Chain A
Amino acid sequence: MSIACDVRLNTRLSEEDRAKYQNGEVIQNLLATAKTIAIVGLSTEKTKASNMVGSYLQDEGYKVIPVHPKAEEILGVKCYPSLSAIPEKVDIVDVFRPASEIPGIVEEAIKIGAKAVWTQLRIINLEAASAAKEAGLEVVVDRCIKMEHGRYGGMLHWAGMNTEVISAQRRRNLGA
């Protein structure tokens, strides 16, 4: 069962687009059911956001598959040069690439049958997002997958962040 809340802060999306691409119920459901997350643009540098997010998702029990044009291995796992080269089923395609590259990534995500496309904070391409949605994928835009996992699991709160979640129900942990 998901927690009802309206997360308004820290996004550049309009109210209308927030309803489409930042639906709390969709996000909680995705994070609770996904097993495999491909990260496009996962950096080899340990202090970059993408590397920290990948490391976090591994810690939380997800299988992370890095997509990188050159690297062979990041975070101890094999990299693939493109989404199409991944030989297994991908649940979420998480993207750390500029907005201009999103249409190509969405096209590939549709082709490999991914369940969802997720573009990180400030990576916004609404046309591509709409194409993914029309193809039946779940779409999240301008949110950080690590922060959202922490928001609903209760860990983001430990960092003093305003999660915007209000509930008197006893917390149930979000499973990976």
Chain B
Amino acid sequence: MSKHDFGFETRMLHAGQIPDPYIGARAVPIYQTTSYVFGDADEAAHLFELKQYGNIYSRISNPTTAVLEERIASLEGGTGAMAVASGMAAEFGTFMTLCSPGDEIVASSQLYGGSLTLLAHTAKKLSIKVTFVDPDDFEGWEKAITSRTRGLFVEIIGNPIGSIADLETLGEIARRHYVPLIVDSTFATPYLCRPIEWGATIVIHSATKFIGGHGTSIGGLVVDSGDFDFSGFPTIADPTASYHGLRFYDTFGHYGFLMKLRAETVRDTGACISPMNSFLLLQGLETLSLRMERHVTNAQKVAEFLAKHSKVAKVNYAGLPTHPHHDRAKKYLPKGPGAVFSFDLAPSKGDVRDAGKNFIEKLQLFSHLANVGDAKSLVIHPGSTTHQQLSDEEMIASGISAAMIRLSVGLETINDLLWDLDQALEVV
């Protein structure tokens, strides 16, 4: 038996699914079932006591979803993963598993608007304190960490200004303070960057975006590196009342965090993914590398086109040499810094918001909607939509201006995308 390292594309297609012994279905079967018949009463009891592997109820685990979980874990180089209802559920589940009331999270101030409101408002209701820092203010991260800090949270590619997190430095800070670094890698996908290789403990995805890739299904993923020593980490190491004093880290070792997330947090909060959505997200994953190659090629060409356009003031894409994080992008995302970025329209006579509105309404090929990572090109005005719940101060901290337009560059013929942007910019 010779050993062999299987490549990324092979694992994209095969990791997590071995054809089953009974039917041998080659496609991933969709187990559209809520529950699973127990072999006998003892097996039922052992499943509930977490002594036996197996499925009880699809809120906790499901065989179709398990394929998605193992596949993303393999692609990220993690010990395992859990799939949940959405990217937001993945974030919430992670914070709920790591934190007790009074605990703290230190987070980047440049995050997706939904993540910002989760941390700024909803976490507060659970007495979880969140301190926001400029992701490049490393001293700020250090100062914000206290004895109650249970995680550092950052997006690898900031939404929407395309900043690139310095994962290696943040990973080093996290390690020194014995807290896990949690990285939202939605815009990168494991094809462009694998944060665990740079020191992340937990990787979060909104699989809705590039992983699914076709705008059909909502889903979220939590991947654990398995390398963090949770033995002195209260929420994962201490005996839990909900399993007769079970200590998750002591009993499940490198799988302790994920077991607690699955068997406690998601069991109790209920944000499970539907097996049908797991199947659709898996269909997307099978072509991830091919799509991401084209996404970043098109994004680079669109960014270069806009940067030269007289109606455009500024392009926030780290693939351009003018972007302050261009070198960092080359280090962490050598294949390309994703396909989601924003740009500012050039100042015009009237209200700049009207210019943005007119531009978006004139676009013929870019779809105006609140999503990114579709195979089709998308556009939105963050100031009035995804980030509109933010205060003016939060807006400034997130780097968002009133004139900003966000694009998610799709897989269409590049000349058609450039034509569409050009004809719409005429109205500005």
Contacts and interface: CB of A to CB of B under 8 A. Distances in A.
Nearest to A47: B246
A89 interface: no
B60 to A, nearest CB: 10
Given A160-B258, A166-B6, A4 B244 contact: no
Interface size classification for chain B: 35 or more
B44 to A, nearest CB: 12
B228 to A, nearest CB: 12
A82 interface: no
A158 B55 contact: yes
A5 B6 CA distance: 9
Given A46-B49, A156-B53, A168-B14, A161 B73 contact: yes
Contacts of B3: 4-6
Interface in B27-66: 42-43, 46, 49-55, 61, 63, 65-66
B2 A157 contact: no
Contact of B66 (A5, A49, A158): A158
Contacts of B63: 158
Interface residues of A, number: 40
A159 B42 CA distance: 20
Interface in A142-161: 144, 150, 154-161
A10 B227 CA distance: 7
A160 B52 contact: no
Contacts of A130: none
Contacts of B108: none
Nearest to B69: A160
Interface string B111-146: 000000000000000000000000000000000000
A162 B52 contact: no
A157 B250 contact: no
A71 interface: no
Nearest to A149: B53
A6 B4 contact: yes
A66 to B, nearest CB: 15
Interface in B3-23: 3-6, 10-11, 14-16, 18-21
Contacts of B82: 160
Contacts of B65: 160
A161 B255 contact: yes
A6 B1 CA distance: 10
A164 interface: yes
B321 interface: no
Nearest to B16: A157
Given A9-B226, A47-B243, A162-B73, A24 B14 contact: no
A170 B6 contact: no
A163 B81 CA distance: 11
A4 B61 CA distance: 27
A2 interface: yes
Interface in B249-275: 250-255, 258-259, 262
B255 A49 contact: no
A59 interface: yes
Contacts of B81: 160, 162
Given A47-B246, A59-B52, A158 B61 contact: yes
A162 B63 CA distance: 14
B24 interface: yes
B18 A154 contact: yes
A122 B253 contact: yes
A161 B11 contact: no
B79 interface: yes
A160 B66 contact: yes
A71 to B, nearest CB: 19
A156 B259 CA distance: 12
Contacts of B10: 166
B185 interface: no
A13 interface: no
B245 interface: yes
B24 A161 contact: no
Interface in A84-142: 121-122
Interface string A8-26: 0110000000000000110
A172 B20 CA distance: 8
B247 interface: yes
B253 A166 contact: no
A167 B42 CA distance: 32
Given A167-B18, A168-B14, A161 B54 contact: no
Nearest to B262: A160
B1 A166 contact: no
Given A155-B53, A165-B18, A121 B253 contact: yes
Interface of A: 2, 4-6, 9-10, 24-25, 46-49, 52, 55-56, 59, 121-122, 144, 150, 154-173
21 contacts: A4-B3, A4-B4, A6-B3, A9-B254, A47-B244, A52-B50, A155-B54, A156-B53, A157-B16, A159-B53, A159-B259, A160-B82, A160-B262, A162-B79, A166-B11, A166-B15, A167-B14, A170-B19, A170-B20, A170-B21, A171-B21
Given A46-B244, A172-B21, 8 more contacts: A6-B4, A6-B5, A56-B51, A161-B80, A162-B79, A168-B14, A171-B20, A171-B21
Closest 5 CB pairs of A and B: A160-B69, A155-B53, A162-B73, A161-B80, A6-B3
